Structure 1
Amino acid sequence: MKEGSRRKKLSQTGSSRLFRYLIPEEIASLLPQHGSSKELNLVRLGERNTETTPVDIKALFLGPKAENGELAEKMLLQVFRDYIFWRRNFHPEDMSAIQPEEQTSAEYQRLVARFQRELFMLLGELKADIPFYSPRYIGHMVADISLPAMVGYLATMLYNPNNVSWEASPITTLIEVEVGRELAKMLGFGNMPQELARTWGHITSGGTVGNLEALWVAKALKFLPIAVRFAAQELNVTGLTASRARIPLESMRAWDLVNLTPTETLDLKDQFIAAYTGAHPELEPQEAVAEAVQQLKAHNILTLGDQAFFSRLRGEDSLNTPVIFASQTMHYSLQKGAGLVGIGAGQVISIPVDKYYRMDRGLLRQALYEALEMQRPVIMVIGVVGSTEEGAVAPMYELVSLREEITEQGLSFFLHCDGAYGGYMAACFRKPSGELRSLAEMQKEYGGWPTSEVHQSFAALGAVDSITVDPHKLGYVPYPAGAVVFRDGRSKELVAQEAAYALGGRAGHPNEIHLGKFILEGSKPGAAAAAVFLSHRVVPPDQGGYGKLLGHTAKIARKFYHRLLLLAQSIQDDFIVTPLVLPDTNIVDYCFNLANNDRLDIMNRFSQRLYQELSIHPESPVQTRSFIVSHIEFSYANYNPEILKSFLEQKLGVKGDYFVSSKELKQRLSEGWVGCDDEIMVFRTTLMNLFTLEEAWGAKDYIDSFLEEIPGLLRKARAAL
């Protein structure tokens, strides 16, 4: 084999190993030197899923005591030296801009001294930050970052790619799309490259932007059929049909159009473009498509705005105000996002939770049928997989089933899953091939986790329309690294915006990859995508990689839960401690009370005193806290009060009638009542740290060490009341 041919084959093979889920044409669009031959395709398909290196948790993190410090230092030094080599060998004929004599000048040395002084001041201040790396931190949804993520981020940060434009990030753009495909596979949207190429996923700054993009797309999708009808009339395109019944488009009312399924809506758009292209053979195909898309865009709701769009719908075409249904435990970003995209935060209707703090399917079904009866469009239904307060997993399988049921009755909606926290736990449920694991196999490996309901919910993720997932949470990746993934990649075209400067001043071709055109954010770090990418290469997002890590955290959470019950038995004469529910993921919530106290206000004051000993205090060094937890307040206004009243009475010995609304609390206080409150203080422990079951002191692990401190802290809190 000639040297040139050998190099080309090696280059193709290297690219195929780097981008396992991109099709060859996509690689060629940004890296034409790698070609798009059938040979490349065969190499790629033959290399998928061949690496089976066992995952050793202790090799993946710096360690609570920086035990892997030498390893990390070596890798970071290798990264920096490699980067220096790259700089020095890019056109080595160029002269140096900084001469040795300039580096010894007084001005140079003074600035270096100032740089060092300010750096050490910064490093000193950072020591007062939160020790997220320690198993003693069991508070919010933050933990240590993995070594692959750290090294991948810092390595790519030096190159400073901006993933909004292919010209500013030819490699990391492909990396980000590859990461989106890997996440799509983990979440159940497909297995093979050609399947995954039909999805669309990318890195965001966090779950908030991921949820906002889902809202943005869902709104555009909901009202797209109406835009198609107007565009077809203007361009004289006839013969279009919609829905499985193939109903003529011109005979459908606005209500019928907004209740096409997401797939039917996108099929209608494709049908419209194909019909216009076929009717204009005098135009180049790409030109005809561009004209059809431009006309469609001129009529869509994102272009016209709500007032202009809805003002054209009169008489039988008039529509009532659209709504969104989401769980009471939804993240605040959903209401924020609804306001930003013009749906209105007030149109996000919360569905109460059941006794497991999951969205109540029965109440959702009732709300949907009421919307159907009132002919009120439902833009989205949102299920939360890993709620921020309880880690609860919504019954996604029931939401999927309910959508199928009510679609038959004439009401359709976009189904979104907010898996910003819990989404990565999908890795536990997937084999390297992408196939779903059995419940029995998982429960055997993970100590009884997951429950049947949780297993069914993760199995159903492949049927939803979009999912938000945050690598910077359970992916152990540095901020910012959220992500959003859409099952049908055609949806990204609905929010496309051209920017000539970002495209290099030229039109693209069908297989060319752009990020900035289809996303909400502008400039964004390629380093974040690279951090996720390298993490996935070392720790695959399946049962043998992230599944091993996150399944371990689920086991830790169950151990914490059961040991908390043992603590409750040992102190029951003086104090009450009870968990909310058996955890769905790796978050355990629990409450404290004094024995024989039936007043909610006293319980909350007692809990607040205890929390002062287990939280960060601005006037005390963080080192003064043995353990750090977090807390939340379950308010009467934002939770199902009947569920919480029952919990108070049955588990904590508090009269349920003491839990009241803010309005009633104010009234009762004015009348001299005692005992009431409109919130319940709940302790939250997030068990993300993979070293929690290691020995902390003697033979005791960190859970034992934490729970052994609790009785003394309870007595101190009681004395302080």
Structure 2
Amino acid sequence: MDLRYWLGQAVETVEEWAAEFGPFAPHPSHHVGDDEFAVAFADFGKRLRDNYPFFHPRYIGQMVKPPHPAAVVGYLTAMRLNPNNHAREGGPATADMEREVIAELAAMFGLGSHLGHLTTSGTMGNLESLYVARETHPGAGIAYSADSHFTHARMCHVLGVRGHAVPVDAHGRMDLDALEDLLRRERIGTVVLTAGTTGTGAVDPVHEALELKARHGVRLHVDAAYGGFYALLAGEGLFDPRPWRAIASCDSVVVDPHKHGLQPYGCGAVLFSDPQVARYFRHDSPYTYYTPSDLHLGEISLECSRAGAAAAALWLTLRLLPATREGLGRVLLPGLRAARQWAGMLTASPHLTLYQQPELDIVSYFPSEPALSGIDAASARVLADGMTGPDPVYVSALRVDAPALTARHPGLVADAPSARILRSVLIKPETGDHLGHLHHRLEELATRRSSP
């Protein structure tokens, strides 16, 4: 796909359509000369170089990757029209596209009847899910795992709901025995389960939590912002498919297309299994909602203005790489295999130690030091030194407490309450081809000592 050609087509497509309405000239107040713009753009280009190479296999830090060229072209083309998907009159075409991609995401999770929309992020999707949780169970608390994303504790505070952190097991998954004890002691209305924690990629036992849903009458919300698209590979024998299949029996789910869905930032999604939760979003707007529609997107969302370009980008991408095993699934598969391959290399390494077996494509590890203080110091050196020099490698760090480290590695000396370990996200399919070099480079960095 020739991105330069299709970016040109994006401009021409809009101009051809605009010409149907007759000639007009931009207002003089918008005028900027080419020479003036060239100076500003040159400075802009220099400023962007103060960045990390998220596009390159050397970067294995956070869960960041460039959007697919189709998403770039789709976003840019629609952006020139600047539709607003709050109401149908703000963007009829992109509103329809949004409904279509939401239906495709719902099918990915096995949801039949559903209500959903795109959001600006997984955080906003989780806020909306917890908002509905509060409205359906007023006065009741919300439980989430201690290793879940910090957004859940934050949003409980925003909503004025009591949040309860549930301990995790030795694999970083929610401890359901501890959860049931909490459900017996406290008034809990909703349990948040995570399908792919942002720290280690751990997957909570969603399928087992369904029994607690039936026994205690709680809502189940699945934060699959990171790992949700792995539902496409469930049943391939690569991991336990039951948590993903159980999502169809939960009350709501969040997924972020701006991660494994190849979209630019500003594209999350929330889906509810019961369309009747729309009643909690109903509101009156005297200057919108005047075109025919069963339900405007703004009537099922806490957000108002939302970029129709985000829906256009996802729609065009899914036309080429649908939410199927053969479509987006083939994009996820190399990262999953690379994570398993690297876990084997780390297990055999004398210089780096695997923290825990990866479930998805997040690999956690640390320099092979005997005590937590040494692990923390060595991890900090790798993090800092890896980004400098002629052969850089970019990783991220994860702070874990002493009980979590010693539970997985009982021989460690717990001489500190916590330690930073290293974390890599193999979200780009190209990373597998560079794994040998990246591993060797990190071993070199792990054995390097600070200058006297």
Give the TM interval when normalised to the shorter protein: over 0.9
CA-CA distance at 1:535 after TM superposition: 1.2
Sequence identity percentage? 30
Q: Is the 8 A contact 2:379 2:397 kept in 1?
A: no
Q: Secondary structure at the match of 1:645?
A: helix
* 1:133 is aligned to 2:133: no
Give how far 1:413 is off: 1.3
Whole-Å separation in 1 of the counterparts to 2:148 and 2:319: 32
Q: CA deviation at 1:363?
A: 1.3
Cα offsets for 1:333-370 (capped at 9, x unmatched): 11111112221xxx211111111111112211222122
Match of 2:145 among 327, 332, 339: 327
Q: Classify 1:116/1:329 alpha carbon distance in 2 versus 1 (closer, same or farther; 3 Å).
A: same
Deviation per residue, 1:118-148 (Å, 9 max, x gap): 0111012112222111111100010121111
Shift of 1:710: 2.8
Contact 1:214 1:484 in 2 (8 A): yes
Say if 2:409 is the partner of 1:591. Answer: no
Residue equivalent to 1:74: 5
From 563, 569, 582, the equivalent of 2:357 is 582
Q: SS where residue 516 of structure 1 aligns?
A: helix
- Is residue 528 of structure 1 aligned with residue 294 of structure 2? no
Q: In the aligned structure 2, how far is the partner of 1:118 from the partner of 1:678?
A: 49
Q: Is the 8 A contact 2:206 2:243 kept in 1?
A: yes
1:470 partnered with 2:280: no
Counterpart-to-counterpart distance in 2, 1:98 and 1:564: 59
By relative contact order (CA 8 Å, sep 6+), the higher-ranking structure is 2
Task: Provide Cα deviations, 1:605-653, integer angstroms capped at 9, x if missing partner.
Answer: 12212221124xxxx6xx85521011110135xxxx2x4323242xxx4
For residue 224 of structure 2, what is the aligned residue in structure 1? 419
Distance, in Å, in 1 between the alignment partners of 2:46 and 2:137 is 53
User: 1:467 aligns to what SS in structure 2?
Assistant: strand
The partner residue of 1:632 within 383, 398, 407 is: 398
Q: Which amino acid aligns with 1:458?
A: W
Task: Give unpaired runs (5+ residues) of structure 1.
Answer: 1-67, 191-197, 224-320, 430-437, 444-448, 659-675, 695-701
Residue 604 of structure 1: which of 344, 358, 376 is its match?
Answer: 376
Q: Deviations over 1:505-544 (max 9, x none)?
A: x8x6xx6230112211111100011111111111110111
Provide the rounded CA distance (Å) in 2 between the counterparts of 1:216 and 1:710: 43
The DSSP-based 3-state class of the residue aligned with 1:692 is helix
Residue by residue over 1:49-97, the C-alpha shift from the partner in whole angstroms, topping out at 9 and shown as x without a partner, is xxxxxxxxxxxxxxxxxxx5xx11111111211111111222x3x5x43
Instruction: Say if 2:302 is the partner of 1:387.
Output: no
Distance of 1:97 and 1:552 partners within structure 2: 49
CA shift at 1:461, angstroms? 0.9
Please state whether the residue corresponding to 1:533 is helix, strand or coil. Answer: helix
Q: Show the counterpart of 1:367.
A: 182
State the number of aligned residues.
452
Distance 2:252 2:169 in 1: 24
Matched, 1:689 2:428: yes
The residue matched to 1:162 in structure 2 has which SS?
A: coil
1:84 equivalent among 15, 31, 34:
15
Distance 2:450 2:401 in 1: 27
In structure 2, relative to structure 1, the CA distance for the partners of 1:624 and 1:516 (3 Å cut) is: farther
> Hey, what's the Cα distance between the residues in 2 that align with 1:693 and 1:335?
35
Q: Does 1:97 align with 2:25?
A: yes
User: What aligned pairs does 1:21-32 form with structure 2 within 5 A after superposition?
Assistant: none
Separation in structure 2 between the aligned mates of residue 513 and residue 585 of structure 1, nearest angstrom: 37
Distance in 1 between the 2:45 and 2:427 partners? 26
Is 1:703 the counterpart of 2:435? The answer is: yes
CA contact (8 A) 1:516 1:522 kept: yes
The Cα of 1:380 is off from its aligned counterpart by 0.7
Equivalent in the alignment of 1:613: 385
Unaligned 5+ segments in structure 2 are: none
For the Cα contact (< 8 Å) 2:278–2:299, is it kept in 1?
Answer: no
1:112 aligned residue: 34
Of residues 186, 189, 193 in structure 1, which corresponds to 2:111?
A: 189
Contact 2:173/2:205, CA 8 A, preserved across alignment: yes
Partners of 1:486 and 1:606 lie apart in 2 by 45
| Secondary structure of the structure 2 residue equivalent to 1:685 | strand
Counting only pairs closer than 5 Å after superposition, residues 409-448 of structure 1 correspond to structure 2 as: 411-429=216-234, 438=235, 442-443=236-237
Cα distance in 2, alignment partners of residues 350 and 555 from structure 1: 32
Change (3 A) 1:161 1:613: same
| C-alpha distance in structure 1 between counterparts of 2:13 and 2:133, whole Å | 44
The structure number with the bigger radius of gyration is 1
Q: Structure 1, residues 301-360: CA drift from partner, whole Å, max 9, x if none?
A: xxxxxxxxxxxxxxxxxxxx62211111111111111112221xxx21111111111111
Q: 1:713 aligns with which of 427, 445, 452?
A: 445
Residues 395-450 of structure 1 show CA distances to partners (whole Å, capped at 9, x for unaligned) of 0001112222x2xxxx3111100000001111223xxxxxxxx4xxx12xxxxx21
SS in 2 for 1:580: strand
2:166 is matched with which residue? 351
Summarize the Cα distance change of 1:677–1:720 in structure 2 as closer, same or farther, 3 Å threshold.
farther
Question: With structure 1 as the length reference, what TM-score do the two structures score?
Answer: 0.60
Task: Give, in whole Å, the separation in 1 of the partners of 2:418 and 2:409.
Answer: 11
User: What's the RMSD between the two structures over aligned residues?
Assistant: 2.1
3-state SS, counterpart of residue 397 of structure 2: strand
Is 1:517 aligned to 2:299, yes or no? yes
Letter in 1 for 2:298: G
**197, 200, 208: which one pairs with 2:115?**
200
1:235-250 to 2 correspondence within 5 Å? none
Describe the shift of the 1:328–1:340 C-alpha distance in structure 2 as closer, same or farther (beyond 3 A): same
Aligned equivalents of 1:97, 1:532: Cα separation in 2: 32
Which residue identity lines up with residue 375 of structure 2 in the other structure? M
For 2:407 and 2:131, the matched residues in 1 are separated by 39
Cα offset, 1:150, TM superposition: 1.2
Structure-2 change in CA distance of 1:625 and 1:527 (3 Å): farther
Closer, same or farther: CA 339–75 of 1 in aligned 2, 3 Å? same
Match of 1:485 among 265, 271, 296: 271
SS of 2:222 mapped into structure 1: strand
SS of 1:524's partner is: coil
Match of 2:133 in 1: 218
Query: Which whole-Å CA distance do the structure 2 matches of 1:370 and 1:222 have between them?
Result: 17
Which one-letter code corresponds to 1:543 in the other structure? R
Which amino acid in 2 is paired with 1:522? C
- Return closer, same or farther for 1:98/1:645 CA change in 2, 3 Å cut-off: closer
Letter in 2 for 1:81: E
Report the alpha carbon displacement of residue 98 of structure 1 after superposing the two structures with TM: 6.1
Contact 2:334 2:432 in 1 (8 A): no
Say if 1:151 and 1:182 are closer, same or farther in 2 by CA, change over 3 A.
same
Q: 1:98 to 1:426 in 2, by over 3 A?
A: closer
Displacement of 1:715 in angstroms is 3.0
1:252 corresponds to which residue?
A: none
Equivalent position to 1:170, from 88, 92, 100: 92
2:69 aligned with 1:154: no
Say whether the 8 Å CA contact 1:613–1:625 is kept in structure 2.
no
C-alpha distance 87-604 of structure 1, shift in aligned 2 (>3 A): same
CA–CA distance in structure 2, aligned partners of residues 339 and 502 of structure 1:
31
TM-score computed with the length of structure 2 as normaliser: 0.95
**2:116 and 2:300 in contact (8 A); partners too:** no
Asked whether the equivalents of residues 220 and 495 of structure 1 are also in contact (C-alpha less than 8 Å), the reply is: no
Counterpart-to-counterpart distance in 1, 2:183 and 2:390: 52
Contact 1:428 1:546 in 2 (8 A): no
Q: Does 1:563 align with 2:382?
A: no
Conserved? CA contact 1:469–1:483, under 8 Å: yes
Structure 1 residue 158: Cα displacement? 0.9
